[in-house]
Amino acid sequence: MTNVEKPKIALFLCGCSTNISNLIDLDAIAEWARKREDIDIIEVHSLLCSPDGKEFFKQEIARNKPENVIIAACSPHQHEVTFQDLAAEAGLNIGHIQMVNIREHCAWVTPDKVKATEKAKSLINAAMMRAELAEDIEKQTMIANTDVLIIGGGIAGIEASLIASKAGRKVFIVERDISLGGEIIKTEEIAPNMACAPCLLAPRLSEVRDDPNITVITNAVVTEVLGFLGNFTVKIHKKARYVDDSCIGCDACFEVCPVTVPSEFNLELSTRNAIYTLFPGAVPAMAVIDKDICKHFIDDSCNACIGACPFGSINFDEKDEEIVAEVGAIVIATGFETGDPSVIEEMGYRKIENVYTIREFERLTCSNGPTGSKIKLKNGEEPTSIAVIHCADSLRENGIPYCSGTCCIRAAKVGELARKQIPDVRVINIHNDLVFTGPAANDFYRKQLDGGTEFVKTDHTSIKIYERNDKIAIEGAGILLEVDMVVLSTGVKPAKGTEALAEMLNIDIGKNGFFQSDHELLHATCASVDCIYIAGSAAGPCDVAESVTRAQATVGDAISKLVPGREIELEMMTTVIDEDKCGGCKLCITVCPFKAIEYDAEENISKVIEAICRGCGTCAATCPSGAAKAKYFTDKQIFAEIGGLLNV
């Protein structure tokens, strides 16, 4: 082809059955096209995406060998890839395929058939002008690391690690606490079927502990994340335990330790020592020394644990450790925190005895809890009446502004747990709205009603709790009750460190502070950065079943995308930055929604990370010097397309 020759163009017109052909005159468009010198091949087909249509399309391209192909049909979102693949099979580079949406843009929005037909001609003309400047698109691939990092060691993180390991992946699971387990270890029964929580968790903890593919890193936090999909470098700061891995958690050292502080595991309802394990059966089983309260570290006045340890496991000289993990995917399973009802002064929490949160009440019912599973008042007696306040810190201005959706069933569980121990106890649930999602949860609610639990509706923001006549009074809109014990049902908040981790990972946070999924319906477990996933309640409040399901989904996506021996196919229509034109203003970095541009301080220029770039073109539109150019969407191509729209 000489410099003056124009590329050979083929035009395919699709009737989309009758979706287009009844509303646009395709024969008139074909006749208009035949009169033009710049269109060499014109074909009309009733349904190009049908098996017959696909074969026809491929054969016509192979036979006529056009340089460019224009398809006037439905939305590119539906079939652009279909026709690109067919064209490639016929020997045409996919960069020379232009798809024109005459269904959604013309047929379905322009009632007048004549006007719809003329509009379709304008769109086709625009595509033709652009096609003359088309360039080859070259596919890019990259070798990927298939290992997985999981941040968070609750039920979601544990499930994700086991699934990834079974798929043959090497797994790093990082947990901030001194043991895996998360929130589920603090309860023994899970509504609605009152499943045994330890029975669910203990076997999984043992599996993780014994799995050679899984590296457990507890008492640790992620401090830096570099890289991109399939190639992340993660720095992890692991705090010293001052106890080595010869420790089996026998508790001989606990008995001689003179220091006690409130136990975090028992929600400060009991105490622990300066050297301790989180709970029996913890993973890892070895103890840890709390340096901030240990007398050895404060004034070197105590070495009792050294003398008591039969294995010589104490090591006061142990140092913090920096660990580097190279992985291809990251799963965020950081869990949640429950709300603090002390911010709602009217609830009387931490001011009135026998006012507990739902978590504290559940700890009272656990065999390894502060009272050995006995529901007791502070004076040691059993309560005769318990009030459960729903939304104690939620759906109000100075608390959690949203409904967590998981609290009502947990609050209803109070009656189930209480009646097992105290059959005649009166349990009153005081609520505004009730949320029991799904048949099982609704059946559980009905069971509580049948069992004698009372449900009293009132405005929860009107409730005030105070002491009266050696009882706890609950006063609200239309109610006045006196009970022995109050249980506050609190909402669910994002886990501590969520914002910092999101910034480190360059991913988004939603309006309620949880990690934001890329698409709530289609990619609910994917973050905005490819190969970073969100499992469990890190994405928002959810129950155990949903946490596990989300974990399974995240790893399923990761292991299907990162396959050993298979290269990752990258986005082809990325942006390039002309280094000679770039002035280093960093505007492109500011506007990039995918964090795909980095700044090179030595050269004072911005550079695109092609593995992350999705080709949205935001940087190209923003760049004041014209250095950023969207591949295959150059200024010349865009202006040619606009010119084609205006001049038919």
Mean pLDDT, range 104-124, rounded to an integer: 97
* Cα separation, 273 vs 252, whole angstroms: 12
Instruction: Look at 284 and 7; give whichever has higher pLDDT.
Output: 284
Q: Amino acid letter at 141? A: T
Per-residue pLDDT of 228-282, as tens digits, reads 889 999 999 999 999 999 999 999 999 999 999 999 999 999 999 999 999 999 9
* Cα separation, 297 vs 317, whole angstroms: 10
Contact 107, 23 (CB under 8 A): yes
Contacts of 322 (CB under 8 A, 6+ apart): 235, 236, 237, 238
Contact 174, 153 (CB under 8 A): yes
Rg (CA), the chain: 32
Tokens at 526, concatenated? 């994917």
Q: Amino acid letter at 37? A: E
* Cα separation, 295 vs 272, whole angstroms: 15
DSSP H or E segment with residue 389: strand 385-389
* Cα separation, 158 vs 173, whole angstroms: 8
Band (533; pLDDT cuts 50, 70, 90): very high
pLDDT of residue 2: 43
pLDDT of residue 27: 97
Mean pLDDT, range 83-96, rounded to an integer: 95
Contact 551, 157 (CB under 8 A): yes
Q: Domain 148-238+322-335+495-561: which CATH class?
A: alpha beta
The residues facing 523 across adjacent strands are 519
- For residue 431, the tally of other CB atoms under 10 A from its CB is 21
Band (293; pLDDT cuts 50, 70, 90): very high
Q: Phi-psi region for residue 138, left (φ > 0), alpha (ψ -120 to 50) or beta? A: beta
Mean pLDDT, range 504-517, rounded to an integer: 95
* Cα separation, 214 vs 325, whole angstroms: 12
- The residue written with tokens 């009603």 in the block is 449
pLDDT of residue 352: 97
- For residue 461, the tally of other CB atoms under 10 A from its CB is 16
Contact 257, 271 (CB under 8 A): no
Phi and psi at 364, nearest 5°, equal: -65, -30
pLDDT of 573 strictly over 90: no
Contact 428, 388 (CB under 8 A): yes
The counts of H helices and E strands in the chain are 17, 34
pLDDT of residue 490: 97
pLDDT of residue 1: 42
* Cα separation, 412 vs 331, whole angstroms: 32
Contact 290, 244 (CB under 8 A): no
Return the DSSP state at 465.
Answer: E
571-631 in CATH: which number? 3.30.70.20
Q: Does domain 9-137 have CATH number 3.40.50?
A: yes
For the chain, residues classed under CATH 3.30.70.20 are: 571-631
Per-residue pLDDT of 347-359, as tens digits, reads 999 999 999 999 9
Local structure of 303: helix, strand or coil: coil
Per-residue pLDDT of 184-232, as tens digits, reads 999 999 999 999 999 999 999 999 999 999 999 999 999 999 888 899 9
For the chain, residues classed under CATH 3.40.50 are: 9-137
pLDDT of residue 5: 60
One-character DSSP codes across 36-59:
-SS--EEEEES-TTSHHHHHHHHH
339-493 in CATH: which number? 3.50.50.60
Per-residue pLDDT of 56-74, as tens digits, reads 999 999 999 999 999 999 9
For the chain, residues classed under CATH 3.50.50.60 are: 148-238+322-335+495-561, 339-493
Q: Amino acid letter at 229? A: L
* Cα separation, 85 vs 98, whole angstroms: 13
pLDDT of 142 strictly over 50: yes
Of the candidates 632, 640, 639, the one whose C-alpha atom is nearest the C-alpha of residue 576 is 632
pLDDT of residue 6: 65
CA angle at 646 for the pair 644 and 647, rounded to the nearest 5°: 65
- The residue written with tokens 């020592």 in the block is 273
Return the DSSP state at 517.
Answer: P
Contact 24, 113 (CB under 8 A): yes
Of the listed ranges 204-213, 266-275, 476-485, 517-526, the one predicted with least confidence: 517-526
Of the candidates 282, 262, 283, 284, the one whose C-alpha atom is nearest the C-alpha of residue 271 is 262
* Terminal C-alpha separation, the chain: 26
* Cα separation, 266 vs 459, whole angstroms: 32
Q: Flag whether the pTM goes above 0.85.
A: no
pLDDT of residue 449: 97
Of the listed ranges 28-32, 320-324, 594-598, 599-603, the one predicted with least confidence: 594-598
Peptide linkage before 192 cis (omega within 30 of 0): yes
Mean pLDDT, range 500-507, rounded to an integer: 94
- The residue written with tokens 């050696």 in the block is 470
Mean pLDDT, range 295-313, rounded to an integer: 97
The residues facing 210 across adjacent strands are none
Average pLDDT of the chain, as a whole number: 95
Of the listed ranges 9-18, 251-260, 417-426, 606-615, the one predicted with least confidence: 606-615
